[in-house]
Amino acid sequence: MTNGQIVGIVIGVLAVILVFSWIKIVPQATEYVIERLGKYKGTWTAGIHMLVPFIDRIPNKVTLKEQVLDSPPQPVITKDNVTMQIDTVVYFKVFDAKLFTYGAVRPISALSNLTATTLRNIVGELELDDTLTSRDTINSRMTEILDSATDQWGIKVNRVELKNIIPPAEIQNAMEKQMKAERDRRETLLEAEGHRAAVIMRAEGDKQAMILAAEGERDARIARAEGEAKAIYLAKKAEADGLAALKNAGADGAVLELKKYEALVAVSKGNASKIIIPTDAVEMTKANVLFSETTGIGDVTKETPKPKKVQKPDVCCD
């Protein structure tokens, strides 16, 4: 192989390398900014592109994916002069590669500084308690402000999150004491409410028990009264049925008079000290006595036997 052949082969290899170096493949979700002779020529999207040698160049390769800017803790002073450390997380993406390349020098650093100053401005209008309880408000306001300010840089701020809020040590100690006092107060209230509920439940139970006892006594009295009333009713009904049966059987006056005697006997067996006998019963008794004395019927009193006369012996005849 001669020297000329070797030189030709080398030139050919170099030409192939140069040709492949001028062919550019842009990956997905990436854009290339192209300058021709130092002036913006265009933006390449995903695909295969040919770069004009020695004329075109690629000053910036921009990713269109969402990115995260994690800012370090920043000292921030609240409205009531409390200094605390707050760090933020910014989620953003590039929507225009040309603006991102030519809009600002080091746009990521500019976004970080803008985030810090915006945070100081917003927190400076709030007091300590509002800062600790208004995370959502601070996040939304920062997102709105940063998104509006970074449009000219080709950056779209999707959201901002406060990562940590670190108050001074003395404030933390005071907050811990306040939280402990609040927990103690809640515990005392819960114990008092529990004791009150127990007392109320016990009183309700006693009240219910007394009501049930009274209702039971009432029902028992009603049952006893109903039983006695029914017994009296049945007794009277039996007596009335007996009299009706006697009447239907054609009982005469003598039988009825006998029933009256039986009633008087039943009354005399009681504990009463006085017995009031109706007038008709008295008249009935007199009539019966007169009838017995006249006819001898019904007189059950035995007559006293008369003493026998002793006959004296007749002396003259003996």
Nearest 10 degrees: CA dihedral of 22, 26, 30, 31? 50
96-125 pLDDT, tens digit per residue, is: 999 999 989 999 999 999 999 999 999 999
Percent of the chain with pLDDT over 70: 77
Domain count, the chain: 2
Task: Examine residue 122 and state whether it is found in any structural domain, yes or no.
Answer: yes
The whole-number pLDDT of residue 318 equals: 43
Do both 42 and 74 map to the same domain?
Answer: no
- What angle in degrees, to the nearest 10, is found between the helix axes of 253-268 and 279-295? 120
Task: Check which CATH number belongs to the domain holding 107 and give it.
Answer: 3.30.479.30
The whole-number pLDDT of residue 258 equals: 63
DSSP tag of 152: G
Do both 56 and 99 map to the same domain?
Answer: no
Do both 127 and 159 map to the same domain?
Answer: yes
- Letter for the amino acid at 29? A
Nearest 10 degrees: CA dihedral of 96, 100, 104, 108? 130
Do both 94 and 129 map to the same domain?
Answer: yes
Which domain, by its residues, includes 89? 67-167
Task: Examine residue 293 and state whether it is found in any structural domain, yes or no.
Answer: no
- What angle in degrees, to the nearest 10, is found between the helix axes of 169-248 and 253-268? 140
With bands split at pLDDT 50, 70 and 90, how would you rate the model's confidence at 236?
confident
Beta pairing, strands 67-70 & 47-50: unpaired
The whole-number pLDDT of residue 118 equals: 94
Full DSSP string of 225-237: HHHHHHHHHHHHH
Do both 84 and 104 map to the same domain?
Answer: yes
Do both 118 and 134 map to the same domain?
Answer: yes
Do both 138 and 79 map to the same domain?
Answer: yes
Percent of the chain with pLDDT over 90: 33
Is residue 288 over pLDDT 60? Answer: no
With bands split at pLDDT 50, 70 and 90, how would you rate the model's confidence at 61?
very high
> Is the full-model pTM beyond 0.75?
no
